[in-house]
Amino acid sequence: MRVVADRPPTGQRPLLIMLPGADMRAEDFRTHGFFDAVRAAGRPVDMIAVETGMECYLDGVTVPQLHALVPPRPVWLIGISLGGMGALLYARAHPERVAGVVVLAPFIGTRGLVAQVERAGGLRHWRSPPDEAMTDERRLLAWLGAGALPDIHLGYGTEDRFAAAHRLLAEILPPERVLTAPGGHDWPTWSRLWQDILATSAFGALA
């Protein structure tokens, strides 16, 4: 895992941990203005971006590796695409360490699995078939559908090629925690959504 800090963490302020998607770098959060947007919004926080390779997800080591970095106080996790799945998986495994989660265009399952959930009538009604292996994706979807979730905020582009999955997640979240913007699965859309999320009540305790 590679860690890129906005500034040297103080250890005293709330911590935001940003997780990029597949084929993205931790530095992309700086390049695309995520750190600057938080500063401009006047949020008194520490920020780091944590780069995990695709192999970490395939090997199931993302959560334990991330846990080694998380301080013994609640943090906010911000994940994009595959990083969104990482953020949600961590929140599922260690809810006591998570103050909230922001996911932008999160990957929550393959197209086939998403279609299966759609046919079942959504996450609240879907059950993993007993003859299917319980992968991280299936565990995540079962957790999302069971309720009792942490403070999750969702943003996605209306033309995102994975929007069907995002709509399934949106259905189980309070409407005020879901934002959309014109655009696809790309940084301009995510940057716009990040600005919009910072302008909402998300991170209210950090104001």
What CATH number does residue 14 fall under? 3.40.50.1820
Domain presence at residue 138 = no
Listed as ranges, residues in the chain with pLDDT below 50 are 207
Domain presence at residue 76 = yes
> What does the CA dihedral 128, 167, 169, 199 come to, rounded to 10 degrees?
170
Domain presence at residue 34 = yes
pTM score over 0.75 = yes
Residues in the chain: 207
Domain presence at residue 21 = yes
**Tokens 């995520």 sit on residue:** 34
pLDDT of residue 167: 98
Pairing assessment for the beta strands 2-5 and 46-51 based on DSSP bridges: antiparallel
Backbone φ and ψ of 133, nearest 5°: -65, 140
Quick count: other Cβ atoms within 10 Å of Cβ 65?
14
> Helices 136-146 & 111-120, crossing angle to 10 degrees?
30
pLDDT of residue 206: 53
pLDDT of residue 202: 72
Please state, for a pLDDT cut of 90, what percent of the chain lies above it: 68
Interval 23-62: pLDDT, tens: 899 999 999 999 999 999 988 889 999 988 766 666 677 8
Q: Which residues contact 64 (CB under 8 A, 6 or more apart)?
A: none
Give the domain extent around 187.
2-108+150-202
Structural domain tally of the chain?
A: 1
Domain presence at residue 180 = yes
Please state, in angstroms and rounded to a whole number, the distance separating the CA atoms of residues 59 and 65. 11
Domain presence at residue 25 = yes
Domain presence at residue 99 = yes
Domain presence at residue 115 = no
